[in-house]
Amino acid sequence: MNAVTTLKPAAGALTVAEQNEAIRTALKTSLYPGASDASVDLVLSYCRASGLDPMTKPVHIVPMKVSTGRKDQNGWDIKETRDVVMPGIGLYRINASRTGEYAGCSEPEFGPTQQLPFKREVWEDGPNNRRQKKWVDALLTYPEWCKVTVTKIVDGKEREFTAKEYWLENYAEKGDSGGPNSMWEKRPFAQLAKCTEAQALRKAFPEAVGSQPTAEEMEGKDVIEGTATVVQTQPAIAKPAELPMYSEADFGANLPKWWDIIASGKKSADDLIATLQTKARFTPEQLDEIRNPPKDEGIEEGQA
């Protein structure tokens, strides 16, 4: 990345500005689809400061609820949803390798499997062609714990640093159901293995990887903890007159997904609308529909 910003272009080659714009376009369309210009710029700044190649996706853009430092009328912290740049497990591995002391990582060892009964949210067609949410019984099989060992060369000798992490202490819940979010439900073993490896790398290479949690560890968690670094930016907003109207067809197709995001607590209706309005214009009726999802009439009593 540093070479892109310092080398003089050869005859017929792209200029530095064109190269930077090409990288930004590639990041937005391939590695970070749907990300705002401001969030992609955060990634580029992070990679420049760390000497990283952004095309290897060493960091992730994670929407998180962070404290604003303000209090509401009841004295509770006021939180806002912002994009946070967080390292991935891949960056932990890169930084450990750069020390020249990284001698490998063991295969994850898993403890006995357990079962977690929970309620899963599903959408189905309701009256008047309106999608409605209901809860169904589900059962997830997960490993009780995972153990990973990282080997480091210390004074010419190999030393092992082992971490053991428990699934129940790491998984991210979806809403208030007690069940896992989609990623932890889909990959209960792989997600725990990444969290455990990150902990082992922190123990072996505290100076190289730091203490900031990885994006895999924070997957689906709403509130960022004190150990994470929050970068505050204002999203790049185009002039309203330059934005196209959101098509009715796309609106009807995406509305249930937006309702699901609001229902899960990942974003409030106003936060979601603020993000959507950086891409297109919406009618007042469309905004009202986003803010007023259908009642959960399909939920049987006692299931919520």
Q: Provide the 10 A C-beta neighbour count for residue 285.
A: 7
Q: What is the pLDDT of residue 10?
A: 47
What pLDDT, in 10s, does the model give residues 86-106?
Answer: 898 999 999 999 999 999 999
Q: What is the pLDDT of residue 161?
A: 97
pTM: 0.61
96: Cβ–Cβ under 8 A, 6 or more apart, which residues?
A: 102, 150, 201, 204, 205, 208, 209
Could you give the CA distance from residue 73 to residue 54 in angstroms, rounded to a whole number? 43
Could you give the CA distance from residue 201 to residue 92 in angstroms, rounded to a whole number? 7
Query: Closest Cα partner for 187 from 202, 165, 167?
Result: 167
The H or E element containing residue 110 is strand 109-110
Q: What is the pLDDT of residue 239?
A: 42
Q: Provide the 10 A C-beta neighbour count for residue 111.
A: 14
Q: What is the pLDDT of residue 160?
A: 96
Q: Are strands 113-125 and 109-110 parallel, antiparallel or unpaired?
A: unpaired
DSSP assignments along 10-61, one per residue: PTTSPPHHHHHHHHHHHIIIIISTT--HHHHHHHHHHHHHHT--GGG--EEE
Residues lower than pLDDT 70 in the chain: 1-17, 175-177, 220, 222-242, 295-304
Q: Provide the 10 A C-beta neighbour count for residue 279.
A: 14
Could you give the CA distance from residue 199 to residue 183 in angstroms, rounded to a whole number? 19
Determine the longest span between alpha carbons in the chain, in angstroms: 72
Find where tokens 């792209």 sit. 14
Q: What are phi and psi of 71, to 5 degrees?
A: -115, 150
Find where tokens 């529909």 sit. 289
Q: What is the pLDDT of residue 204?
A: 95
Q: What is the pLDDT of residue 46?
A: 87
Q: Which two tokens stand for residue 179?
A: 């069940």
Q: What is the pLDDT of residue 114?
A: 95
What pLDDT, in 10s, does the model give residues 172-206?
Answer: 887 666 788 888 999 999 999 999 999 999 999 99
**Both ends of the chain: CA-CA distance in Å?**
50
Query: Closest Cα partner for 27 from 63, 1, 65?
Result: 1
Sketch the domain layout of the chain as residue ranges.
1-87+215-236, 89-208, 240-294
